[in-house]
Structure 1
């Protein structure tokens, strides 16, 4: 144990990866750390080995915990977002130094790790949440390194006495990892005096304090509603130490995201297709329910489908170039280019 009472040996009460996971927010999801197979565990670093003769080797900790690998993954996965990346790096640095201080007998209060991630849909909040789970686990702050993602429906019951047990069950599954609450402000509905969301908030307030060494709560959503949520629930706001804002992407950044997605899927775009996609993005940005990275991913998927049917109906011989190239027409067929078009 260090001075905060946290284990330093990487021991785990339960291995992660035993439950299914997905990237959406349709309900509770559990995802193991990257590179972690089902039923296996990624051990956290042993800080005792990094301290000798009164000196701490920071580089050995960063190397052994592979924190630098996670930070590089964030750099590769997220286009732009320099302030976000810098904030994650600062948090990682705080955690490393805190653990080294504990190992050298420099007592101090453990850092508060609960966070809020604010920004539009599709700006990388979920990606950062998963990567934070990796960092926290590798540095020994959480035992399992998994992430449980929920919305209001997973926490709030339908009748009197249902909410507290429901919320506590979710918390139990999240212990040793991260509880990610998407659009957390929907828990607070002051216009409805009979709403049970406040009961879920009270349970969360308790566990965010009592289980702070074994549970990290991340709350995500739009910036304005999240600020109102914290103002209406000051106890919640006081328990959240790190507020990370995710700015909207501009057209050029969204094009970079699209190119990254295309490359990963083994496709390429013709020059005309790239111009068509820029036009698509400029139009789509002006339409409702634009979700940045998610909308770009959907647009690429539909372009792939149109390419597939185009090649299928050609009924001729196909070259490798044919199979990997997305043409302008694969994008221009979108209803976004209609006068009253929507994202399709």
Structure 2
């Protein structure tokens, strides 16, 4: 009986070790799922400086972001080096078309500023953009780095990203939508307002207040055109219809960036990147199992969610690894870092069981 009790204690200790290590590894992974892993200390690569805070306009704003966005004394981070930001963008997996468009836009802005410095006539330039593509293709990630790039170029005074959607802008009563929308816009001044699924603001019927939100946003875009950039995002066709439905929108949003779905190979590389960030090592045969699982589950990029689908798959594999290790009496450090083909296979089986 004493032996059984001691064995139970050992198993509980190992479970606690697994739980702690897993939480530690997950916490080390950046919130920017699409980005390149941070350079290792002493590698000689430049470390990423603290970016401007990101504020959620739906009540989930972090304290630091709230302070900065509300105009309190929260320090605004200094502009980052443009070369570092461009290198970070290049380090993102996929997004080839978007990277080219962003570089072209940066060059346009730089020349525009040089003409201004040399006293040459300036053509009015709109930096507001439409991001279109399926879920999980990196739209929010690119919006975040665009805010930092504009801050680096001196176009925006703070460079924060404020993310919202219809629920963050539209109220349920007459006169309240404009107030609610203005609060979000005030938080975004000096940075980028990212409106996800922006087309939901339009076409809600005669009693809908979405148009009031659109009108309020357009007015702020005009009144604060020197220190506010708005990015509207959503599905391809729906975003086209949304922009063309309103002359004010059509005149201000004349830059369109399309985000392609990730290829299976790119999604495998995203999975590998998450392994590197979390100090996990993927067995050689496990990599093939991951690629097969992605191919099987990614029958519809919209429902799978591109990189978000990969993230969900990665988390399921970690759960299966934890279940496997919990059955062992002792667990070495190397085993805590290892992901096997069996872990991947069980992750696929668990998904099919949940779907039944």
Taking structure 1 as the reference length, what is the TM-score of the superposition? 0.80
| Cα-to-partner distance string for 1:2-39 (whole Å, 9 max, x where unaligned) | xxxxxxxxxxxxxx96x7757xx96564787xxxxx94
Offset at residue 337 of structure 1 (A): 7.2
2:76 to 15, 33, 41: 41
Offset at residue 133 of structure 1 (A): 0.6
Offset at residue 342 of structure 1 (A): 4.1
| Cα-to-partner distance string for 1:135-169 (whole Å, 9 max, x where unaligned) | 10111111111111001001001111111111111
Q: Structure 1 residue 222 and structure 2 residue 235: aligned?
A: yes
Partners of 1:164 and 1:108 lie apart in 2 by 33
Provide the residue aligned with 1:323 in structure 2: 336
| Cα-to-partner distance string for 1:105-137 (whole Å, 9 max, x where unaligned) | 113034210001111111111111111011101
Higher RCO structure, 1 or 2 (CA under 8 Å, sep 6+): 2
Provide the residue aligned with 1:171 in structure 2: 185
Q: In 2, are the aligned partners of 1:284 and 1:336 still within 8 Å (CA)?
A: no
Counterparts in 2 of 1:338 and 1:93: CA distance versus 1, 3 Å: closer
Provide the residue aligned with 1:185 in structure 2: 199
Provide the residue aligned with 1:71 in structure 2: 86
Q: In 2, are the aligned partners of 1:254 and 1:296 still within 8 Å (CA)?
A: yes
SS at match of 1:118: strand
5+ long unaligned stretches in structure 2: 1-50, 66-72
Partners of 1:236 and 1:166 lie apart in 2 by 20
Q: In 1, are the aligned partners of 2:54 and 2:160 still within 8 Å (CA)?
A: no
Counterparts in 2 of 1:234 and 1:342: CA distance versus 1, 3 Å: farther
Provide the residue aligned with 1:334 in structure 2: 347
Counterparts in 2 of 1:320 and 1:264: CA distance versus 1, 3 Å: same
Counterparts in 2 of 1:336 and 1:105: CA distance versus 1, 3 Å: farther
Q: Structure 1 residue 245 and structure 2 residue 280: aligned?
A: no
| Cα-to-partner distance string for 1:190-243 (whole Å, 9 max, x where unaligned) | 5x2111101111111212222111110001111111011112223212201211
Q: Structure 1 residue 139 and structure 2 residue 174: aligned?
A: no
Provide the residue aligned with 1:57 in structure 2: none
Partners of 1:153 and 1:28 lie apart in 2 by 13
